[in-house]
Structure 1
Amino acid sequence: MMDGSMGWLWIWPVFVVVGLVLLGYVAYGLVQRRGTRPGAWRLPALRTLDERYARGEIDDHTYRTRRAELT
């Protein structure tokens, strides 16, 4: 009664191992992302604001107002 289907039986443990590895990778990525500082997106915004002020694109009042909003 062996029609060759037993030859594919080895693939299910491989799928389980691959699935567990992917699950671990996703969990690790979520833990790493959680470790970043809240508000880290503000650093590039502050840098851009500083550059615009240095180039003279915005005046002192605008610079101080926007900087206060970001910090």
Structure 2
Amino acid sequence: MHFYDGSFGGMHLIWWFIWLAFIVWIFFIPIDIPYQKAKKESPLEILKKRFAKGEISREEFEESKKILNSEN
């Protein structure tokens, strides 16, 4: 025969809260994690963006482009 006097009833309640929090965490974590979708840009793409923004001159762009193409 099983005798339960309720002495550990509080611990049982705590475990329910832990399981509930775990389940909520699993289902509500962001699926769309930004760092996983971040596309790694090639050095040439970065160079093109810098040129388009006006950060570097045409001469610097052409020189850097030659250097990058010679490494491939």
Shorter-normalised TM range: 0.3 to 0.5
TM-score under structure 2 length normalisation: 0.45
Looking at CA atoms only, which structure, 1 or 2, has the larger radius of gyration?
2
TM-score under structure 1 length normalisation: 0.46
Of structures 1 and 2, the one scoring higher in RCO (CA 8 A, sep 6+) is: 1
